[in-house]
Structure 1
């Protein structure tokens, strides 16, 4: 998610963020542009942070390759997510739409380092 998080590739510091827990009973609480944390569809032990670029019912035009289709209709209860640096991001362009059931929460603020403290 660089440059939004952990800007610069030469630093070893990592941003620390506040994540608001996601409530499956309120699926409409997520919006395009929100940054979310979710379990990787390829490795559920790994947490991933990406930006929502498409919601259920949207038609998206993936950056291909590797996504095999020129366009994709996002199914019900799914999201299309992308990293801010698309050239170096493993995201929906790789694994397709993600289930909202994988969402852990929405990133609401960066709290560390202090020089980068901000509401997201």
Structure 2
């Protein structure tokens, strides 16, 4: 069964590239471009992992991540944040993300991180 990944990015080119990459890797992908759509999409699509840009046109990915991690319904979902922010800017904000990956990112590293975290979620859901 294909693992479900939710990708959120307001940059349409980045969103399409990530959607293509993960579809080619065998994931079932839901791609959205607005922060306001994240929670309803998570509840409907029920992803095993979330990949989200920090800077969204209508919201902050770090705050959305914290909202997901503080909810009993979604706290188990791994969230990976993508960012063009510097390390200093990232470290100044306490965030509950499972991983933060800088842009430009290494594709193999991104795929490996997503795979490891989604495997962890799949294992948790078995019990």
Normalized against structure 1, the TM-score is what?
A: 0.25
Structure with greater Cα Rg: 1
Between 1 and 2, higher relative CO (CA 8 Å, sep ≥ 6) is seen in: 1
Normalized against structure 2, the TM-score is what?
A: 0.24
Which structure dedicates a bigger proportion of its chain to helix?
A: 2
